[in-house]
Amino acid sequence: MADASSQIARTVPTRRPGRLSEFWRYFRENRGAVMGLYVFAVFAFVAVFADLIAPYDPTAQFRQHVLQPPFWQAGGSWQFPLGTDPLGRDMLSRLIHGARFSFFVGIVVVVVAATGGVIMGLLAGFAPKWLDTLIMRLMDIILAFPTLLLALVLVAILGPSLINAMIAIALVLQPHYVRLTRASVINERTKDYVTSAKVAGAGLPRLMFVTVLPNCLAPIIVQAALSFSTAILDAAALGFLGMGAQPPTPEWGTMLAEAREFILRAWWVVTFPGLAILVTVLAINLMGDGLRDALDPKLKRS
Amino acid sequence: MLRYILARLITFVPTFVGVTLISFAFIRVLPGDPIIVMAGERGMTQERYDELVQRFGFDQPLYLQFWDYLTGVVQGDLGRSFITNRPVWDEFFTLFPATLELSICAIIFATLIGLPAGVIAAVYRGKFFDRALMSTALVGYSMPIFWWALLLIIVFSGNLGWTPVSGRMSLMYFFDDVTGFMLIDSLLSGQAGAFTSAVQHLILPTIVLGTIPLAVIARQTRSAMLEVLSEDYIRTARAKGLRPARVNGLHALRNAMIPVVTVIGLSVGTLLAGAILTETIFSWPGIGKWMVDSIFRRDYPVVQGGLLLIALMVMIVNLTVDLLYGLINPKIRKR
Amino acid sequence: MALLTIRNLTVEFATASGAFRAVDSVDVDIDRGEILAIVGESGSGKSVSMLATMGLLPWTATITAERMEFDGTDLRSLSGPARRRLIGKDIAMIFQEPMSSLNPCFTVGFQIREALKQHLDLDKKGRQARAVELFEMVGIPDPERRLKAFPHQLSGGMNQRVMIAMAIACKPRLLIADEPTTALDVTIQAQILDLLTDLQKETGMALILITHDMGVVAETAERVAVQYAGQKVEDQPVTDLFARPHHPYTAALLAALPERATERRLPTIPGVVPGQHDKPVGCLFSPRCKFADERCRQVPPPVQPPAIGFARCHYPLNVPAEVETA
């Protein structure tokens, strides 16, 4: 009779891969996601080192060079590679600094919304029924308002500024985390490993944060990636409506709002900020899709 | 089914009160005294100020103010605009058809393209068409629509001169509101060219507003179809020797429609958020532009009432979607 | 003459970590009116080979075969429309999970009439009459009312009867039943098996019964093919197989039947069927076989002649004296 050791020796050595490397393999297989990751890395790099990369101060005005086109068009020069805006400020420098604001918005909104949302979701999942109902009703109420409208009114109350826009967006995005977390907590709570932790004497905080939370992380991570891009989009929209970052801040949405009246005369002041938003948001969404496919075993190819 | 409807209706009431409370609370915590804002730059005497405080009931305790507001809301009284002095309710219903017309066109546009695109992508999963379509959908999904609108204006209004830049109707035509829908009213007016003008004005806003729902519907249809296509009953349908068109278009799509209808319904909230941007850019005289203008004018009763009515609309649509969900899902219907 | 002939059928699935061979050079033969049972553990590729015959495998599957003929028609080169005229009519199949195998959005009546509409020249009235007749044949009481029901309103056993009615709707010459009773209650299992054998006798169709249950085999089948890890390891008439199993795997399966146990403890087969990542080099059964030696572990075994039940083994059991092993 074949003993255990000879069984293992006979097997062809294609071992089942580990969890992290398996995740990376699925992620890497998705070429779009990897491309998104690279673009996002560049975006983060530009955001962090904007001061060093940008050729000019983003608010410096070169009055002799107002509305100069990009270098490849007649009248353009390498001095201002992407041209200048109506006040003679260098577009490239402003776009580079704009990355910093968008990145900042994304990070702050995701951290605030996710922290608040996950804690509330955990609470709702573990709380007695009345508290659960209360929290979920509250979230239903917030979700009944279109996000941008609610953010707009909140900013109108708090006063238009980038910080207030971030607070408003974080508040508006929070219910999604609450719902998601609660749903996975309720799903996990009935499982045997939670019961055994309870039997072993784990307290409620430990049960919530150490036992259950790590097992609910996959959808939360995906949601974080998706709300990063939503935050950037909404902040830009608020800036565009004049309720976000205020001029002369080189925030992409605000830049677009300033450039609106020149759309038919100087295409570059309109095209580049929007393109910057689109590319950034697209990269993050690509990444988010890759994350979801790699983390969600249900959608994996069998 | 009746119990299902009742259960949904019961959760509607507290949400409604909550939404009213939030719209109420927002305005009462606004910095700046609304009455001083109302007075504007002319200023006002102390007597006039006191009189107005009393008229708006601002001297009452907050809970009484809320009670008054809530009872007013239930009776259809949302107060009057500070600026025009017209009832908020009337203003809303004058402007609502414009938004409704635009939203309906946008959702039809999004569904007509998004649904078949998603089905075809799922059926040819992994092939070139699927990749191309889903990449495009992701770009659409990531689109800052205010920028997209500007680009379309540059190309179609600026360079090509095909479409007007703003408004709902060329100034050359004038006719009475019958339904509030330009497409219908222009036909009823019998004026040659009016209908064409209405269509031309609608095209760009429809595309802009429909872009994100289109991307969402295409992606959702594809993933719902993929899930359904791996179900056992699809294998059964194929084992019967049915044509692929029937297997995909009837057996799979009928099941995939259940989540997709939900998504289409839920995109109404997105649509209203998008309407704020779209209407502002195209000077479309609907409730989105109305809200933005009122926020800038600090016209508090309008902001308050508009917020409430829009939230109410989203809630009603969500409720309808839920009921519709019960209707198209036999597992819930027959119980 | 054989109704279905398959030679050297191999099915591979493309997975994220390389190709997975689910079916490995399998031969299948069945005559008109015969009942063949294909037996094996889960993952032995018994369903996959039949799904390949029907052309129902997903696009990730690659199918190769030397011969694949149904009643003289080459199934390999069949065009889509020609295949669809054949399956559902001449070859029909029923599946393991009756609850999920029927479309939840349509009434069972619609789903049966749809099959009739696809293949037979009946008018609306005729289809309804035939549907009622079919429901009576499979023993569903009150057929007019039941035809209007949705699948989730019927029990599992009732749904399986619906599936059978749908499969035999167009009088197929071959019915493939893929573990038709696995998902059902024990009392219902026997009823469904009786129904299948009765229908087989009545209509004279051939029946392929895929199962992992040796008890089911003994009661219903005329001939048995045993599959292990994608390969056919033995093929014999049912009485011979129970009397003289040639492959150690078959022998072990039979020994594990409670009614044949000789000791107090029920014998089991140690280990599990090898998966994608741990396929042995030699005989696939060698890690679990109590007769295996070094040759078994290194060299893939040959297929023995018919007299030794086509056993895929180096050292077949119960070999008659006059027969030479390969």
List, as ranges, residues 160-199 from A with C-beta within 8 Å of B. Answer: none
**pLDDT band, residue B75 (cuts 50/70/90):** confident
pLDDT of residue A302: 33
- Is the ipTM value over 0.90, yes or no? no
Residue A296 CA: distances (Å) to CA of A35, A117, A118: 20, 21, 19
Residue type, A174: Q
What span, in angstroms and rounded, lies between the C-alpha atoms of C244 and C319?
A: 9
The per-residue pLDDT of chain C, averaged, comes to: 88
Which chain A residues have a beta carbon less than 8 Å from that of B292?
152, 241
Strands, sheet with C231-237, edge to edge from the N-terminal-most edge strand:
C91-94, C174-178, C206-211, C35-39, C223-228, C231-237
pLDDT digits (tens, 9 = 90+) for C283-307: 999 888 888 888 988 899 999 988 8
Which chain B residues have a beta carbon less than 8 Å from that of C85?
241
What span, in angstroms and rounded, lies between the C-alpha atoms of C123 and C117?
A: 8
User: B191 — phi, psi (to 5°)?
Assistant: -80, 130
pLDDT of residue B320: 85
- Which of C27-31, C265-269, C279-283 has the least mean pLDDT? C265-269
B97-273 domain in CATH 1.10.3720.10?
Answer: yes
Tell me the mean pLDDT in the region B71-81: 83
Percent of chain B with pLDDT over 70: 93
Tell me whether C93 touches chain B (CB under 8 Å): yes
Token pair in block for residue B254: 């009928």
pLDDT of residue B221: 94
Which among A95-104, B82-91, C13-22 has the top mean pLDDT? Answer: A95-104
pLDDT of residue B118: 94
pLDDT of residue C164: 92
**pLDDT band, residue B29 (cuts 50/70/90):** low
Question: Do residue A10 and residue C15 have CB atoms under 8 angstroms apart?
Answer: no
Which chain C residues have a beta carbon less than 8 Å from that of A6?
287, 297
- Which of B29-33, B330-334, C154-158, C242-246 has the least mean pLDDT? B29-33
Cα R_g (chain C), whole angstroms:
21
What span, in angstroms and rounded, lies between the C-alpha atoms of B107 and C233?
A: 59
pLDDT of residue B31: 56
pLDDT of residue A13: 46
Residue C66 has pLDDT above 60, yes or no: yes
**pLDDT band, residue B63 (cuts 50/70/90):** confident
Chain B: nearest CA to C202, how far in angstroms? 22
Tell me the mean pLDDT in the region A6-18: 48
At residue B48, the 3 state secondary structure works out as helix
pLDDT digits (tens, 9 = 90+) for C113-155: 999 999 998 899 999 999 999 999 888 999 999 999 999 999 9
Tell me whether C276 touches chain A (CB under 8 Å): yes
Find the CB nearest C16 among A7, A10, A29: A29
pLDDT digits (tens, 9 = 90+) for B293-320: 998 888 888 888 898 999 888 888 888 8
Question: Do residue B241 and residue C118 have CB atoms under 8 angstroms apart?
Answer: yes
Chains that touch C (3 or more CB pairs under 8 A): A, B
Which chain C residues have a beta carbon less than 8 Å from that of B230?
58
pLDDT digits (tens, 9 = 90+) for B240-283: 999 999 999 899 999 998 889 888 887 877 788 889 999 999 99
How many degrees, rounded to 5, is the angle at CA C146 between CA C145 and CA C152?
Answer: 130
Residue A12 has pLDDT above 50, yes or no: no
Domains and CATH numbers, chain C: 32-55+79-227 (3.40.50.300), 230-308 (no CATH)
Residue A5 has pLDDT above 60, yes or no: no
C226's enclosing H/E stretch is: strand C223-228
What does the domain layout of chain B look like in residue ranges? 97-273
- Which of A17-21, A40-44, A85-89, B156-160 has the least mean pLDDT? A17-21
pLDDT of residue A297: 55
The per-residue pLDDT of chain A, averaged, comes to: 85
Question: Do residue B150 and residue A260 have CB atoms under 8 angstroms apart?
Answer: yes
Residue A112 has pLDDT above 90, yes or no: yes
Tell me the mean pLDDT in the region A93-111: 92
Percent of chain A with pLDDT over 90: 33
Chain B: nearest CA to C58, how far in angstroms? 9
What span, in angstroms and rounded, lies between the C-alpha atoms of B156 and A264?
A: 11
pLDDT digits (tens, 9 = 90+) for A15-48: 555 677 777 877 888 888 899 999 999 999 999 9
Residue A267 has pLDDT above 90, yes or no: no
Tell me the mean pLDDT in the region A208-237: 89
pLDDT digits (tens, 9 = 90+) for C191-234: 888 899 999 998 899 999 999 888 888 888 999 999 998 899 99
Tell me the mean pLDDT in the region A89-98: 92
Dihedral of CA atoms C43, C49, C51, C54 in degrees, nearest 10, equals -170
How many degrees, rounded to 5, is the angle at CA C57 between CA C54 and CA C63?
Answer: 85
pLDDT of residue A299: 45
**pLDDT band, residue B80 (cuts 50/70/90):** confident
**pLDDT band, residue B16 (cuts 50/70/90):** confident
**What residues have CB less than 8 Å from B99, skipping those under 6 apart?**
B272, B275, B279, B284, B286, B287, B288
Is the CB of residue B317 less than 8 Å from the CB of residue B268? Answer: yes
Percent of chain B with pLDDT over 90: 35
Give the residue from chain C lying closest to A5, CA to CA.
Answer: C287
Beta bridge partners of A209: none
Question: Do residue C88 and residue B240 have CB atoms under 8 angstroms apart?
Answer: yes
Token pair in block for residue C221: 């089948």
Residue B34 has pLDDT above 70, yes or no: no
Which chain A residues have a beta carbon less than 8 Å from that of C282?
10
What span, in angstroms and rounded, lies between the C-alpha atoms of A247 and A255?
A: 8
Residue A300 has pLDDT above 60, yes or no: no
CB neighbourhood size of C41 (10 A)? 15
**pLDDT band, residue A244 (cuts 50/70/90):** confident
Closest CA relative to residue B267, chosen from B332, B211, B323 = B211
**In the block, which residue shows the tokens 């297989």?**
A29
Percent of chain A with pLDDT over 70: 91
Task: For residue B116, say if its preceding peptide bond is cis, omega within 30 degrees of 0.
Answer: no
pLDDT digits (tens, 9 = 90+) for B280-292: 999 999 999 999 9
Rounded to two decimals, the pTM is 0.84
Domains and CATH numbers, chain A: 30-299 (1.10.3720.10)
Question: Do residue A17 and residue C17 have CB atoms under 8 angstroms apart?
Answer: yes
pLDDT of residue B209: 95
